[in-house]
Structure 1
C-alpha cells in the first residue's frame, strides 16, 4: 500500500513539475480593427468587439508558447473617408473573423510564473513581445435593399464568370503572420492580468472583397444580375455617374489586408497539488 502511495506521489510530483504552474489559462476581451483597401488611413473608427481564449506554457520566466482561439467583427465603409475618390467609390463591407493560432512570447523582465526558483530574481510584471502564426476564416458581406448579402459567391470583380477565366473565386480561409506586444501583471499566486495588441499580416487581399480592378459592369449585369452589378459598384448611390468603368482601379492588389486585435486578458495559473510525503 505504501509502495503504491509512494509511486502515486512520484507521479504527482512529476506532473506538478511538468504541467501544473507552468500552464496559464485565460480569456480576453477587447476590440478588432481592419486595415486595407477600405481603410487606407489606418483609422480606428471601425473598431468593433473582439475576444478569445488562450493557454500558455511557460518554459521559464522569460520564454513561453501559447495557443489561442479568437473571434472578432471587422468592417469599413467609404462613406467615412476624407478622400474624395474613396467617398465616391462608396464600397463597404462587414465580416466576422474566427481565428486559431500559436505564438512564442518573450518577457523583457524575469516574470513571476509561480514555479521558478524562489531565490531567483523575478518581477510581478513584465512587458513582452510575441510572434507566430494563425489560420482564420472570414466572410465579407454588404447590404442590398436592407438585406445583408455574402459577397464572395457573387464574384464582384468578375471571379467565376466565363469572360474572366483567369479570375478564380477567393478562399474564405487564410493564414496570417502574427506579432505584437503587451504587459502582464501578477495579481496573486494564481491570478494575473495582461494588456496587449497584435497585428495580423494576412495572406489575402479579399478580407474586404476588394482587391484589383472593376469588372465590366455590362458583364456583371447580364451574368449576375442587378444586385451583383450594384454591389460591385455602388457609386451611383452618391454620384450621378458611376465610377466603376471596366479595368479601372477598384483596390490595391499590391498589398494584402490586415487586422488588429487588442484587449485586456485575465490569467489563471493552474494549481499544483502536493503529495502527503512532500514537505
Structure 2
C-alpha cells in the first residue's frame, strides 16, 4: 500500500473507513483544510488503496454551483444503465432531477433513489465515492449526498469528501471530519513511495528547514561540499575579471568610434588642403 510521508494518522483513518466498507459497514468522512494542503492527494491515495472497490468520482465547480444536481449527475452518470432496476418512484425522481423527464424533483425521493442506485452496484463489489472540491457543490447535490452519507452504515459504501475549511456548508459540517494541518519541515522534503520502488510524488515543504535560510541552495550536501561557496578573495577576483573584460570592450568600442570619425573627416580635410582658386576681373578705367 502507498505511504504518504507525514500523513500516517490521516491515511490510517481512511484505511479504516475502507476496511469497514469491505465488511459491509459503510461510512463517510470529510477531509478539510486550506487550499493546497493536500486534500486531493489524500483522495488519490484513497482511490489507489481501494483494491476491489468500484470507484466513482466527482468534483464541485464554481461555475456549476447554480445548477441543481450537477455534481450528483456527474457522480451517478456511470450508473444510468441501472435506473430500470429501481422502483418506479425512485427512477422517476432521478429522471426528473437529471432532466430526463419533466416535473419538480422531490429532495427526499432523490436522496433515497441515489442510495438505492448505489446499493444496486454493491451486489458485485464495495463502492467508493470520492467528491473533491465539495465546497463548490450545488445546494441540491449537497443535500442529496449528505442524505446518502448518513445512511450508508448498513451498506458496503465509503464516501469521502474534500472541502476547504470552513466549507460554508452545514450539511458537510455535520458529517465526521478530518482536519489537515501543515506538514513538518522534514516530512515536507520527503517523497511518497512503496518499498522496492513505487509511486513517488514530492510534497512541497511549508517553510525552509534548518541550515537553509530564505533562498538557500537546494543542492544535496554532497554536491555543496564538492562545489564550496566562493570566499571573499574569489569574489574580488571575479569582480576584477569582469572589470577588465568590460574595460577591454569599452576601449575597443572607443577605437572603433574614433576610426570611423577619422574616415568621415578625411574628404573634408582633403578639400581644405587644395589651394583656393582666385578669379581676377579687369575693368576699364572710368570715363572711357
Greater helix content: 2
TM-score (norm 2): 0.19
TM-score (norm 1): 0.19
Q: Which is greater in Rg? A: 2
